[in-house]
Structure 1
């Protein structure tokens, strides 16, 4: 018993001495990330549940839901991202295979013609089959660290694919809502154009009979032409928006099916959530976190390159000079080798490599913190946008009501001969501008809801 203690102590000392051969690693930078306790903007009517996985269904438009689902299946960029996930899944398997034994089978029948000592040629046959098994004992955990790095990189690619899916879903939803806004503006413009046409024809008749001046008729004509000019502009914008949505869904340029009218679309309830929940929900934060884990594992593997490696090699086989004997009673051959290999001098190459990976780790830490701060900013901005746009919509409603009343008074004054037709045209123009602004604000509020769901992670949550 007393003899074993010195031997054990010597073994521990050898292991500790070998462990001291690893390259030194600089300490990581201190975190400068501060977690806010709440958002700056408080939103009325905030929901109480988690962010829905398929949040776009909250708009209640089957056409929007179908469009987003089609994009999640057929979008080209998303298919590329998913293919990269499969690539890194395979690379993870390659890294894990490094911790297992490697077995090779080799058969090498050989026929040789040589000269004997007396100069007489002779022919020999050698029939041989051999297998070789190699296994590296992962004493220091270097191979396990490489597997951990590959696993974390694979998980980062999964999060990257989720981030791409979230971005595509939000882009398609925003594009569709903008398309419905353009549709509503086109319908308003075409309806206004008919009114402008009637006003122009009336002004022309009154000018012909001498009831009004040529100036009033020309002003009505100009107002009609101004409104008519907006129709092809809106149709071109709708055409391009449809083509953009078709490409996003993985198809060719073409028309897009419509669903609920803009006026009937309502934004879903604002999802509840604390800033800390973004760390689990947003896929870009998860990607930055897994990249940091991968670099830390690579740092461990790089640091341990100076430590000795322990490899076991087992070789076995059969051999004979005659085929009959090789098949029926071959001669068995084997050998077992244990090897220890350690670098002696590499000119500080490993230390510089370790310093390089440590710098990459520091970059990953800063990138992670930047991703978290960006998430906080985007969410706060989206919450603030919804509040301010709704306040702006209230003022727009008041402005429109004033414009409508102004037009009513101007129309009555013109009919009673107290004012010129130019006054009514100006009131019509003001009301039309307010109507367009109302549709644009409605669209912007809907799109701001999409931006909020994108900022809050859109329900993509991985353990």
Structure 2
């Protein structure tokens, strides 16, 4: 078998031309160090629960699942993000087309009236058609690097869509859970108002027969109005929450269908996982990684602008002075050319562009590290929030039990004439505060579970 050797002169020429490229700054070293485990208490995450794609179904409420599905299909922000993915997919196709040959055709019938050598006018007709093909030989891979950059940008936009979808799903879940919490508070306040009506009537009768003072009667009136005041405030919050949720699911302002009540909603198990798994699950980290890869490819392409470019051009056609000759026997014409161009002096323009691209690349390096650190902080805060809220709920249960017993004793003392009605009113306020705190803690714990699933990258899938 005959081996072909590259001539030393050709090799030297390639090396010399390669040295004409601009100097690209090196990528800064990474300062990112992933911890081996979570700092937050992990006793709740010791099970085998994993981050599911459709994690919102773990709440067991079919209405919540329907709302999230509707939002993923109709949310306005997601439709914008999907259109951006299509835009970058077209950009990738454009970058790939730049590496393919270009074929064009033109025809030019011409009629000219000029003077001959004797000064007499005459008319000539020229019928001409030509086809031309050109192709740039990507010797240095510059066009390929631009195509790689476009591909990484497309993947970054796909990750952006995934991040938007995750955010929308979490926002819908949080809004719905907050709505159910407001519903529970409204029901509690309406029940409390009914109790205040009975207490007010009892205080009125006691005052009219002279068994109690006017102070107790006025205090009972005040407590009634305080409870009544809460109802329109809660109704306004529910109205606004419904409108916000309607917008999230891509609809007009309107009522929202209810599913399970707050008391039947339970926070799903805390998902397990290590910090390093966030790098594979969180779409915003993937977006930052693809943006960095696109910047590196663009930097390489910018650096190579000083290298020579090579283009082949082939054209052929026919020409005749009459239409009959043009259609039947035109004169064949052709041209084959090779073009090599190289910048000799640009005043440092390409080097400045390369330095600019390098600085932009460095910014994305630091941005990637910041995104990872933010993901770690969000996950740590989510794990700790669930742990602390559960501790707080235990204390709230004990507080409510004590308040309920206090109210029972105060009511019996007042009924038997051993204490004033003010003592019972104070016990009622304490129990109502504990009940409201219980509902708010339940809502906050459910929303904290949503925040944790968002922080751990749940629900990420390529949806466009």
**Deviations, residues 304-360 of structure 1 (Å, cap 9, x unaligned):** 000000110111111111211211222211111111100000111111110110000
Matches within 5 A, 1:164-313: 164-313=164-313
Q: What is the deviation of 1:124?
A: 1.2
- The 8 Å contact of residues 282 and 461 in structure 1, kept in 2 or not, is answered as no
* SS of alignment partner, residue 44 of structure 1: helix
1:206-232: CA deviations, max 9, x gaps? Answer: 101111111111011100010100000
Q: Is the 8 Å Cα contact of residues 280 and 462 (structure 1) preserved in structure 2?
A: no
Name the SS of the counterpart of 1:111 in structure 2. strand
Residues 427-436 or 244-253, more deviating: 244-253
Residue number in structure 1 paired with 2:368: 368
Match of 1:117 in 2: 117
> How far apart in 2 are the matches of 1:315 and 1:427?
97
Which 5+ residue runs of structure 1 have no aligned equivalent? none
Structure 1 counterpart of 2:103: 103
CA distance in 1, matches of 2:302, 2:373: 31
Instruction: Return 5+ residue gaps in structure 2 as ranges.
Output: none
1:456 aligns with 2:456: yes
Aligned to 2:34: 35
Q: Deviations over 1:29-69 (max 9, x none)?
A: 11000011111121425442541111111111111111111
Deviation string, structure 1 residues 415-454 (Cα, Å, up to 9, x no partner): 1111101001100100000000000000000000000010
Runs of 4+ residues over 4 Å off in structure 1: none
1:68/1:172 contact within 8 Å kept: yes
In the alignment, what sits opposite 2:314?
Answer: 314
Residue 105 of structure 1 aligns to a residue whose secondary structure is strand
TM-score (norm 2): 0.97
Task: State the SS of the aligned residue for 1:103.
Answer: strand
Equivalent pair of 1:404/1:431 in contact (CA under 8 Å): yes
Contact 1:193–1:224 (Cα < 8 Å) also in 2: yes
Distance 1:211 1:49, change over 3 A: closer
Query: Quick check: 1:320–1:330 contact (8 Å CA) kept in 2?
Result: yes
In structure 2, how many angstroms separate the alpha carbons of the residues matched to 1:47 and 1:460? 22
Contact 1:134 1:314 in 2 (8 A): yes
Aligned partners of 2:199, 2:167: CA distance in 1, in Å? 47
The answer for the alignment partner of 1:161 in structure 2 is 161
Distance, in Å, in 2 between the alignment partners of 1:187 and 1:26 is: 65
C-alpha separation between the residues in 1 aligned to 2:125 and 2:271? 80
Q: Secondary structure at the match of 2:7?
A: helix
**CA displacement, residues 372-399 of structure 1 (integer Å, 9 cap, x when unaligned):** 0000000010000000000000000000
RMSD: 1.5
Count of residues paired in the alignment: 461
Check the 8 A contact 2:129/2:318 in 1, yes or no. yes
Separation of aligned partners in 1, 2:49 and 2:309: 53
**TM, length-normalised to structure 1:** 0.97
Task: Tell me the residue number matched to 1:90.
Answer: 90
**Distance (whole Å) between structure 2 residues aligned to residue 49 and residue 239 of structure 1:** 36
1:88-112 superposed Cα distances (whole Å, 9 cap, x missing partner): 1101111111100011111111111
Distance across 2 between alignment mates of 1:49 and 1:133: 60
Task: Name the counterpart of 1:392.
Answer: 392
Do the aligned partners of residues 67 and 461 (structure 1) sit closer, same or farther apart at CA in structure 2, a change above 3 Å counting?
closer
